[in-house]
Amino acid sequence: MFRWSMSRTFINIVVLLSVLLLVVLGGFSITAFKSFEGIVKQRTFEENSKELRIISDTIKRMNEDVKAFTFRQLDDPALAALFEKKNLEYFEMFKYMELISKSFEINPIFHSDTLYSGKTGNFYSTLGSMVQKDTFFVNAIQNYRGIPVLQPIPRVLPSEAYNTSATVFTYFYFLTDSDNKLSKALGVNIDAAWLCDTLSKLKGQNNKAYIIDKTSRTFIDDSKQIRNLDVLNSELVHKIMETNQDSGSFETGAKKDQKIISYLWMPETNWVLVVEESNEFLNQSLQFVRKIMLQMTLGIALIALVAAGFIAYRIYLPFGRVFREVMGPRGKTENKGPLIDEFKLLSDVFQKNKDLLKDYNSYKQSADTILLENYIKAVLMENNSIANQLTGEFSTVFGNMLDREMMLILLKIDRREQFEMLDSDRKKAYRFIIMNVAEEVLDSGNAAKAIYIGEGQFIILAFLPEGKRDISWDEKIRVLQNTVKGFTGISLSAFLGGYVQGVGALIHSYRTASLLLKYSVFYSHEAILDPAVLDLHEQMKVTYDEKLEERILDSIRAGDGDEAKALFDQFIEVSSKGDIESFMLSMTRFSLALGKAFDILNKTRIEKIPISMKDFYMRMASFESIDELKSKFYEDIMKIANQKPLVEMRHDALVESIKRYIQDHFKEELSLKGIAVEFKLSQGYLGTIFKDSVGLSVMDYIHNFRLDKSAELLLATELSIGDIMERTGFYNESSYYKLFKRRFGTTPKAYRVDKEIMNKLEK
């Protein structure tokens, strides 16, 4: 009777194992089939993508060659007469066209060149002089603001204008003068024959290749003709045009006519390369594999059911013995029917005992951790009453922990003001991460303990195995700093108190680390300082240089900010060689002297210097490093030094108002005339006083301010160049590119890439 009571568990085990094995088998079969299908599709996509990228790289080089040719041609002084001379003789024009044609020899894909002079209204072409009949080129000039610059546009040249109907890719470039009027236009035509030949090489028995132009909604293939997208499958075109990925593949069409589509968007163009390949081979392969796998799955399923019964029996034997041992006489009294749920009975017994043990261990571990942290804090803060009480009552918990040899390290969060601005939950999470990473990284083979002592500081006790002192702590701390910064973005500085053993040595080591923390202002963030730094500074005696102080103040009074900054750097360099107390006294004394000089300057001025000395002193007291101190001094020193003599104050106030107006309205269309009307001044007078004060014309200042703003957005955001132009008041792309290159020596895109590379290298 008792033996039959086990059948419920045995049956459950058999059923569960059978289901599990069948699910695993089914999953394996489906996964294997899908993997085979995926491998074939991926291989097809990889082969097609490889070909597409080769073509894309070639087109990219074509774009770069065209851009280089365009800028070289526009800047060529030998062609200046084309754009300046109104009545150009035929033989002169022929000579210039021949000169341009010769430059095509650098690349055989160049077909022809078309030019327009806004100053003379003349059209020119290396193919002839009937450019006016090229309505596409004429319309592009009339609507140049809406034409993409230096991007390939597929088209067929009109034979009535050029005596040829060649299929080409035309690149347009427009140049405007200071009044935003079109001064030059250039159309470079690239022969499409080479690209059509390349596409024909991708064609096979079951596939075809072509290029879609998103702007003109046309496509071109090996036929050397430009056709509308209506010829292609509309669903296919929509799927490709709406994708957000640079490359990819998908299937389309019914099963019998299914095709694999591979596509690749080309950078800096509105083109996408497409390859269509028949899916017939894949379908035939999958049919065969599906049949074979179905047969194998059925056979293995039968074997799995037999195996499930045997495994269930072997599993159940020890379970039955455990049940009889645990339940004893109770197991027989519980047997009221043919089948009982003995598993539930055992689970209830074990769960009650497990809960009791879990609660006990959890309470014990939490209490031990809290007591240990409080004990170490009490020792470091020299609170002997609390330390003695804890040691006396919980000696079994602590043992002789502090009698072991250890390294004491004090960690400090850099830029604590920024850290304190975080919400409380995030601060707790970051402290938890720092402590856990520190315990893992600084473990020297015999555990490490991290304790948060407040004010953004942590104490790390790294316990050492006996006799082990040859540890590279700098390397370990660097790993800790990099790991924490990678997870949280927080930088840490570390201060080594030295090797210690015993309570007295621990207190002395903590005092040393705390003193090192004060000296961290002499060093950059993420510093690692050891006790040798104290000897370096405390042995050097530095006296306050009153003559250097007076030279700095004289430079400020004279308005020479650069000289004041250079002298202040000398002052800092000398003062920071001594101990920290002397340095802080020197900084305070200099601040008072600067404040006094500032008060005297304000008494002699019509318009007061806009500096609050109260804010200045507060900023002085909150710096964390010398670099930060210099930055704060530079800012206020330059505010004072840059104030001009009293006779220029009225003009300066007016110029400052004009500058503020420009800075507030730089996104709008600004002109010298409009600003003069706004301030009720003549254009000549406004331009004269502005240039005398600033050193730039009004329009140059507007351009520079907008360019600086756009440079900031290029580095700080991922906005497109078009969006940045709109946000910074530029409405002509060619003019923006020209002004940006003149100011920064490179294009906006190259500027963004170069700065990102430099930032990564600096990190």
Which DSSP string corresponds to 597-665?
HHHHHHHT-SS-----HHHHHHHHHT--SHHHHHHHHHHHHHHHHTPPPGGGHHHHHHHHHHHHHHHHS
Q: How many CA atoms lie within 13 A of 265 on its CB side?
A: 14
Q: How far apart are CA 199 and CA 52, in angstroms?
A: 9
Q: Where are the beta strands (DSSP E) in 501-560?
A: 528-529
To 10 degrees, what angle do helices 613-621 and 626-641 make? 160
Using H for helix, E for strand and C for coil, what is the string for 304-340?
A: HHHHHHHHHHHHHHHHHHHHHHHHCHHHHHHCCCCCC
- Which of 661 and 355 is assigned the larger pLDDT? 661
E-strand spans in 122-258? 123-125, 153-156, 167-176, 182-191, 207-213, 218-220, 226-228, 247-252
| Closest residue by Cα to residue 437 from 402, 473, 486 | 486
CB 260 within 8 A of CB 245: no
Q: What is the predicted pLDDT for the residue at 701?
A: 93
Q: Is the pLDDT of residue 278 over 80?
A: no
Q: Is the dihedral of CA 503, 504, 505, 507 positive or negative?
A: positive
Smallest CA-to-CA distance from 259 within 233, 223, 224, 241 is with 233
Rounded Cα distance between 136 and 126, Å, is 17
Query: Lowest-confidence range among 8-12, 105-109, 379-383?
Result: 379-383
pLDDT in tens, 57-88: 778 888 888 888 888 877 778 777 778 887 87
Average pLDDT, the chain: 77
Is the C-alpha dihedral spanning 152, 153, 154, 160 positive or negative? negative
Mean of pLDDT values over 248-255: 71
> Stretch 525-539: mean pLDDT, rounded?
83
pLDDT score at 103: 75
Chain Cα centroid distance, residue 232: 39
| 3-class DSSP assignment, residue 194 | helix
Mean pLDDT of 210-222: 77
Question: Where is pLDDT greater, at 340 or 693?
Answer: 693
Nearest partner of 72 among 193, 173, 2, 222, judged by Cα: 173
Contact 305, 18 (CB under 8 A): yes
Token pair recorded at residue 743: 């100011």
255, 283 Cβ separation under 8 angstroms: yes
Q: How confident is the model at residue 604 (pLDDT cuts 50, 70, 90)?
A: very low
> For residue 86, what are the CA distances in angstroms to 93, 101, 664?
11, 22, 42
- Do residues 157 and 166 touch, judged by C-beta distance below 8 A? yes
Task: Answer whether residue 622 shows pLDDT above 80.
Answer: no
Cβ-count burial of 630 within 10 angstroms (0-12 exposed, 13-18 middle, 19+ buried)? middle
**Between 401 and 131, where is the model more confident?**
131
Q: How far is CA 48 from CA 211, 242, 632, in A?
A: 14, 21, 58
- All residues at 6 or more sequence positions from 132 whose CB lies less than 8 Å from its CB, including other chains: 123, 138, 161
What value does the mean pLDDT take over residues 130-152?
Answer: 84
Most confident range (mean pLDDT) of 447-461, 560-574, 664-678 is 664-678
Average pLDDT over residues 759-763: 59
Other beta carbons within 10 angstroms of residue 336's beta carbon come to 7
Record the tokens describing residue 713, joined without a space. Answer: 């957005």
Q: 360 pLDDT band (50/70/90 cuts)?
A: very low
Both structure tokens of 552: 């700095």
Those residues with Cβ within 8 angstroms of residue 716's Cβ, 6 or more apart along the chain or in another chain: none
Q: Among 244-258, 296-310, 545-559, 723-737, which range has the highest average pLDDT? A: 723-737
Mean pLDDT in residue range 344-349: 61
Report pLDDT for 395: 46
Mean pLDDT, rounded, for 376-402? 58
Q: What's the rounded mean pLDDT across residues 534-543?
A: 81
